[in-house]
Structure 1
Amino acid sequence: MIDVAQSSERAALQAWRRDFHRHPEPAWCEYRTTSLICKALSEAGYDIRIGEQFLSSSMVMGREVDEEQEKLRALAQGADPEWLSRLSLTGLMAVLDTGRPGPCLALRVDLDAVRLGECCADHHTPQQQGFASLSAGVMHACAHDAHAAIALVLAQLLASYRDTLCGKIKLIFQPAEEGCRAGKAVAASGQLDDIDQLLAIHLGIHAKSGELVVCPEGFLSSTKFDVEFIGKPAHAGLEPNAGANALSAACLAVNQMLAIPPHRDGMTRINIGHLRAGQERNVIPAYAFLQGETRGATSQLNDYVFSAVQRIVQGVAMAHGVDYMIRRQGEAISIQNSPALVHTLTLLGDELGFDVIHSRPFGASDDAGFLIDRVQRRAGQAAYLVIGADLSAGHHTDQFDFDEEIMARALNLLFHWFARNLTPSVGQTA
């Protein structure tokens, strides 16, 4: 079996990955990344679908973006002006229709970075080799830069085989995976309803270079939420009784949320990651804002925790005489891979020399679950793969980096999966 990741593809993978790493963009701000991928794949012959063409805006979650400012920033960082002018919502779907009968195969990758400052120490490889983040407080700390680069080079490679392919290819470059804010909108668009088989991938996640986890388990259902408490200011010394203390309400709510009992039927989690309140030491705080998330091994377990959150917020607000607002800012559901597709990927992984691991705990959330569920509910097959990569530090840490060599192996795996399904002759000769 040939290795399609030759020197030119390897160089392209590294160049794109390092470019995306140098210019990270957080959720719903991926204007530069989206514009450059649109340009490259439109030139490769793909039909590019953006905005409402590939996601449902009514299902978008957690998008609070100064679009004009972000576009100016993206343009200054080298975004493609023509495509940038067409964008409102970020992300894209690239479609290659061969015009010949055959199945519709799809790959979903994510684009966004994490709001985290990158390590600037000399021992950190991106810093040492000159491709560390140029954006303060934002970095690719979860390998989404690699995912985007792999899918982009894969798309160009598949386009070069267009004359020998049948069926249709859909490549989904999803925005706002961090916080699970866009998967539901992509799934609701209707653009997945003709897909016969869908893959989603992630590098790292408890797997070493050379390993391929074909059926990761333990994907957590999750709800991301914001809470606002709106009280009443007053002089803290002269007339404290005239105020309604939003900060006090928030503090009590956080304590009670973190004390929600675990459920007997399975794993549950809650975290409050941000709390902001008050202005002056001698003013009763009139406003408090917190951000948190719940997780559960199933949707029912996650609902148990989030329902408790809602009751706590309501009760605390009543006790303190403040108003409140809860907003869902992101969601994820659990994932179950299609057995037949897992079997196919196991055989292919073995052929390509991977150490194939059937299952291993994932332990986090990914809104690809909405896409996978949508395809499976319409009798298609879908799976989430973990492609192992040695890491320099854990995901979502400031020293995160990975073994770049694994990108070529991932490209080879994905190319052969597409080729075998869309052109049996290519698969046989390869």
Structure 2
Amino acid sequence: MSPTDSDVLSCLSKTRRKLHQHPEEGWTEFETTWFVAEELRKLGFPIKTGIANIDPLHALGRSEEKVKKAIERAVAHGVPAKFIEEAGEFTGVVAEVETGRPGPVTALRFDMDCVCVAETNSPDHIPVKEGFASQNPGLMHACGHDAHTSVGLSVARWVKDHLAELSGTIRLIFQPAEEGVRGAQAMTAGGTVEGVDYLIGAHIGGFAKLGEILILQGGILATTKLDIKFEGIPSHAAADPEKGRSALLAACSAATMIAGIPRHSEGDSRISIGVLHAGEGRNVTPAHAYMQIETRGITDHVNDFLTERVQKIVAGVAEASEVKSSVTICGTSMTLPPSPELQAAALQVAQSIPGIRAAYDSRVSASEDCTVFMNRVVETGGEAVFFMYGANHHGHHRPDFDIQDEAMLNGYRMFTRMVARLNGKN
């Protein structure tokens, strides 16, 4: 007998609370990967973990130091060292469910990583009040990926329960490192979405309120994440100032000029200078500076315009300041590819869910790593769609971010009804 909505809601809530307590940032989700892998194995699904899904040459923004510390934490919390070793010290899980009947390959994507935000300790914050707040200092599921993973596991259970009613293949993708748009490129290069006819991705919250489902037709911005380094020459700030070359001043000049790059007439464009660290001491000419910045554009062309200007500014400032510079791309994603037929089908499915207000939307001015998967699927002749399932919240990436359990149930309903429509047995 299929579980009732009440059963599903209880399972979603329980899973999300467990995951919320153990947030892990991109490329370090070893506890989450182990948990997901074990749940999928209980269902009897064949799975591939870590390196089996990843081309490591495309694993952008991965810190070996953070990975090592995360492995130590995961092992201390009960994750078998052998599991981590077999995964090649990479994270992420893919399950492929064959029905044994001809039909399309439909991929469903769920991300797993957290945000580097310290969760509030306010007694009014539900995770604090009910005892499931983050146990990892400085890390928090402040974007709802714990909910995404919970929905994905409940969808997997639905697929198991309804396997006799389905055709084709269902591919469940639990992606690492969505934040900073770092993981999808590595998985795409690793072949994760090859052969996919339909790909469905989603995000909780955003502009969508509880009881709403928005089918995105645009608004997702292409983005590039860049790490910039300047290397100068140290000297005594008083005795030999002329012998030094200041990396700090070079970085400050670059920051001012990057912020002043003209925005683009073709549509939305964004530049954010999020981090600038420099210097060794007050009486030493600063020899090192480090910046983290990002560009975003309504089209790949607009984003490329901004990125190219950044690179030219860095090179020019370095030459003028007589310092060395480097620019490393640590993440990249694209805009939404067109799939009008699948978008129309998704809108119809959303409208069929009782109590849901469904609509097309293109207001999202953020970026989404799923677009890398989506563009690859469309390039190879498939279709892809992305939707938002609503929740009432205080804003993403905030210490007081929270969602309602009912929101996850609506995401579950949308995914399962899409699978039933696309892979229903003929």
* Partner SS state of residue 358, structure 1: strand
Whole-angstrom CA distance in 2 between matches of 1:149 and 1:298: 32
Q: What residue in structure 2 maps to residue 364 of structure 1? A: 366
TM-score by length of 1: 0.95
Q: What residue in structure 1 maps to residue 95 of structure 2? A: 94
Give the C-alpha shift of residue 263 in structure 1: 1.5
Change (3 A) 1:388 1:229: same
Whole-angstrom CA distance in 2 between matches of 1:68 and 1:278: 27
Change (3 A) 1:335 1:206: same
Cα shift readout 1:219-256 (whole Å, capped 9, x = no counterpart)? 11111000110011100000000111000100111011
Change (3 A) 1:228 1:65: same
Asked if the contact 1:29–1:70 (Cα under 8 Å) also holds between the matched residues in 2, the reply is: yes
Q: What residue in structure 2 maps to residue 79 of structure 1? A: 79
* Partner SS state of residue 405, structure 1: helix
Give the C-alpha shift of residue 408 in structure 1: 1.2
Whole-angstrom CA distance in 2 between matches of 1:337 and 1:203: 21
Cα shift readout 1:338-393 (whole Å, capped 9, x = no counterpart)? 111111111111111221111231100011111001111111111011111111x1
Whole-angstrom CA distance in 1 between matches of 2:13 and 2:45: 22
Q: Is 1:26 paired with 2:28?
A: no
Cα shift readout 1:66-112 (whole Å, capped 9, x = no counterpart)? 33321120123343555334221111111111222111111111110
Change (3 A) 1:197 1:213: same
Q: What residue in structure 2 maps to residue 57 of structure 1? A: 56
Q: What residue in structure 2 maps to residue 414 of structure 1? A: 415
Give the C-alpha shift of residue 159 in structure 1: 1.1
Change (3 A) 1:377 1:194: same
Q: Is 1:348 paired with 2:349?
A: yes
Q: What residue in structure 1 maps to residue 383 of structure 2? A: 381
Matches for 1:217-236 after TM superposition, within 5 Å: 217-236=218-237
Consecutive unaligned residues in structure 1, runs of 5 or more: 426-430
Whole-angstrom CA distance in 1 between matches of 2:420 and 2:82: 33
- Which moved further from structure 2: 252-261 or 414-423? 414-423
* Partner SS state of residue 405, structure 2: coil
Whole-angstrom CA distance in 2 between matches of 1:418 and 1:254: 47
Q: What residue in structure 2 maps to residue 238 of structure 1? A: 239
Matches for 1:132-281 after TM superposition, within 5 Å: 132-281=133-282
Change (3 A) 1:135 1:11: same
Asked if the contact 2:220–2:362 (Cα under 8 Å) also holds between the matched residues in 1, the reply is: no
Whole-angstrom CA distance in 2 between matches of 1:410 and 1:236: 59
Matches for 1:279-294 after TM superposition, within 5 Å: 279-294=280-295
Whole-angstrom CA distance in 2 between matches of 1:58 and 1:292: 22
Asked if the contact 1:32–1:84 (Cα under 8 Å) also holds between the matched residues in 2, the reply is: no
Whole-angstrom CA distance in 2 between matches of 1:47 and 1:39: 11
TM-score by length of 2: 0.96
Whole-angstrom CA distance in 2 between matches of 1:59 and 1:84: 20
Whole-angstrom CA distance in 2 between matches of 1:225 and 1:378: 29
Asked if the contact 1:214–1:345 (Cα under 8 Å) also holds between the matched residues in 2, the reply is: yes
Give the C-alpha shift of residue 424 in structure 1: 4.2
Change (3 A) 1:413 1:403: same
Asked if the contact 1:192–1:375 (Cα under 8 Å) also holds between the matched residues in 2, the reply is: yes
Q: Is 1:328 paired with 2:329?
A: yes
Change (3 A) 1:5 1:79: farther
- Identical aligned pairs, as a percentage? 36
Whole-angstrom CA distance in 1 between matches of 2:138 and 2:128: 15
- How many pairs does the alignment contain? 423
Asked if the contact 1:5–1:411 (Cα under 8 Å) also holds between the matched residues in 2, the reply is: no
- C-alpha root-mean-square deviation of aligned residues, in Å? 1.6
Residue 386 of structure 2 aligns with an amino acid whose one-letter code is Y
Change (3 A) 1:179 1:271: same
* Partner SS state of residue 147, structure 1: helix
